[in-house]
Amino acid sequence: MACDYLQLATAGVQGLHPYLPGKPIAELEREYGVSNIIKLASNENPLGSSPAAVNAVRGGLDELWLYPDANGFELKQALSSQLDVTPDCITLGNGSNDVLVLLAEAWLSPAHNAVFSQYCFAVYPIATQAAGAEARIAPALPADSDMPLGHDLQAMATRIDADTRLVFVANPNNPTGTWLDNTELRDFVANVPETCLVVIDEAYLEYAGEGQGSDAAAWLVEFPNLVVTRTFSKAYGLAGLRVGYALSSPQIAAVLNRVRQPFNVNVLALLAAEAALTDHDFLQRTKTANDQGMQQLQSGLKDLGMSTIPSAGNFILVDMGREAMPVYDALLQRSVIVRPVGNYGLDRHLRITIGTQAQNATLLNALADVYS
């Protein structure tokens, strides 16, 4: 009888289901034979990449035969200067996804638990289960609340005990787009025991408007158990290069470096991220385009009779008024890729990335056709 290698895996891994990414454009072309595809599924920047980052990548092509700087000295210096933190507070990752997994590897075990919200980023439960730890899931706020389906910090606080090592909080949150009040979130952090790390995931911080994001890095000196994670994949348009980082106390960063893989951020990603930090014009154009696109989609979806969740990200969660998968499939046939979120328990919803004005119009026309 053939060996069952799944049964030889650790208990946490045996029950895992892989992360489901958005459908790639090339895959849709192969499956449906369609063309002129627009992808509004993975919260990528519709303006592309920072031009400064692209130029830096071109200039670094002759360095591909060299290993990258394992410590990311230049990028850490740039981040340190911009964020007013010391370099020893920074942990670089292969996207912020990488540092989230590192946190679980370093602090979770079958003897511990992690706390997160019901409709949180899928990596939190995946990393928790892979470590064999208990997942304590707090119910989200109700759909009729001021922040529908958002984090209920009181419910999360009640699930923290002496064995809790990590609390994950996304602000703004993916896939809902919801956000937390700055004062409320800071008070929550202040009341978490020091034996538990509070991880505030700010992957979408650059898109948040006034009062919609925490910028929790300002609290690091006050809370030694605070970790803030960020990424260059979204607003800076570097999703294909995979570079993100964590901000924390130097002691936490030192622990993360014990489990961080050597050379986890490649040469081109380091160069691109450093250059992107200086491209303030691109970042402002990105924010302006996102604000305009958000208004365009919210208005158009309302005209189609669909309800949406308030969002501080570069995407919007839409209640389709029916089972969402048939709508998703119908959009694929019309060359539009969005994101089904049934894996989050949101079977009636689709998550739609904010695109360009033309892409948003194409999506709205396709939806009107599907619902006609």
Residue 5 scores a pLDDT above 70: yes
Q: For position 26, what pLDDT does the model report?
A: 86
118-147: average pLDDT: 95
SS3 labels along 145-200: CCCCCCCCHHHHHCCCCCCEEEEEEECCCCCCCCCCCHHHHHHHHHCCCCCCEEEE
Residue 1 scores a pLDDT above 70: no
334-348: average pLDDT: 94
Q: Which two tokens stand for residue 4?
A: 């069952």
Domain ranges of the chain: 20-48+280-371, 51-276
For the stretch 260-277, pLDDT in tens is: 999 999 999 999 999 999
Pick the CATH number of 51-276 from 3.10.180.10, 3.20.20.70, 3.40.640.10, 1.10.357.10: 3.40.640.10
Q: For position 12, what pLDDT does the model report?
A: 78
**Better-predicted residue by pLDDT, 174 or 33:** 174
243-271: average pLDDT: 97
CATH architecture under which domain 20-48+280-371 falls: Alpha-Beta Complex (3.90)
In this structure, are residues 98 and 244 in contact, taking their beta carbons and an 8 Å threshold? yes
pLDDT band at 35 (very low <50, low <70, confident <90, very high): confident
Classify each residue of 206-243 as buried b or exposed e, where b means 16 or more C-beta atoms within 10 Å of its C-beta: bbbeeebbbebbebbeebebbbbbbbbbbbbbbbebbb
Residue 52 scores a pLDDT above 90: yes
**Rounded distance between C-alpha atoms, residue 161 and residue 155, angstroms:** 13
Cα of first residue to Cα of last residue in the chain, in angstroms, is 55
Which residue type, as a one-letter code, is found at position 167? V
Q: For position 14, what pLDDT does the model report?
A: 79
For the stretch 176-199, pLDDT in tens is: 999 999 999 999 999 999 999 999
Global pTM value? 0.94
For the stretch 145-154, pLDDT in tens is: 999 999 999 9
